[in-house]
Amino acid sequence: MTMDTQPSTETKTATGWVMALSIGLIILGILAILMPAIAAAVFTSALGWIAVVSGILQILQAFQAQAIRALWLSLGVGVFYLVAGLYILFNLSKATAALTLAFGLLFIAEGIFTIVMAFTYRAGRTMSWFVAINGIITLILGILVINRWPFGSLWLIGFYVGVSLLFSGASLLGAAVAARREVA
């Protein structure tokens, strides 16, 4: 009897976390859709700050690596990260355009892999069609991003990331609910 309740409890706990994540993704997606330019600027700025902090940490680490003769290599990598991060922060529109192109390519790849996953693994069994729709929409978004690049870069990345987050959250929620029903 313990064998039957343990997987059920573990599945409910795991699907509870997935449901919470999916609701968070849905909320973030809606916010990004409502404020696409702000979402694009916030996203690009966050990447810039990550690169700046990484560069500073790499530079500091370079002096610790002096004993193993890795000072100049580590210092060079750190400087490149720092310069790239500062470039992103001081040129948000250009960086957003570059990121829009990268996300267009990412959405195309994600859409293809999600469609394949939906039919290969039948995620959530009865909800695999929803995962396939998510993949199709993500693929279409990627094609549209590439088609409108670079003219729509300032709002497209925020809007499309929002749509992708919304559908990813919804498909995760559907799969978690279906997995929970199978256990019950």
10 Cα distance to chain centroid: 26
Residue 165 neighbours by CB distance under 10 Å: 21
Secondary structure (DSSP) of the chain: -HHHHHHHHHHHHHHHHHHHHHHHHHHHHHHHHHSHHHHHHHHHHHHHHHHHHHHHHHHHHHHHGGGGT-HHHHHHHHHHHHHHHHHHHH-HHHHHHHHHHHHHHHHHHHHHHHHHHHHHT-TTGGGHHHHHHHHHHHHHHHHHHHHHTTTTHHHHHHHHHHHHHHHHHHHHHHHHHHHHHHH-
Hey, what are 7's tokens? 């997987």
Percentage of residues in the chain having pLDDT higher than 90: 33
Whether this model's pTM surpasses 0.85 = no
Can you tell me the mean pLDDT for 125-148?
Answer: 84
8 Cα distance to chain centroid: 30
58-104, pLDDT tens digit by residue? 998 888 766 666 677 888 889 999 999 999 999 998 998 888 888 88
Percentage of residues in the chain having pLDDT higher than 70: 89
Identify the weakest region by mean pLDDT among 96-100, 135-139, 162-166, 179-183.
179-183
125 with 73: CB under 8 angstroms?
Answer: no
105-119, pLDDT tens digit by residue? 998 999 999 898 888
Better-predicted residue by pLDDT, 134 or 34: 34
Does residue 7 have a cis peptide bond before it, meaning omega lies within 30 degrees of 0?
A: no
Residue ranges of the domains in the chain? Answer: 17-183
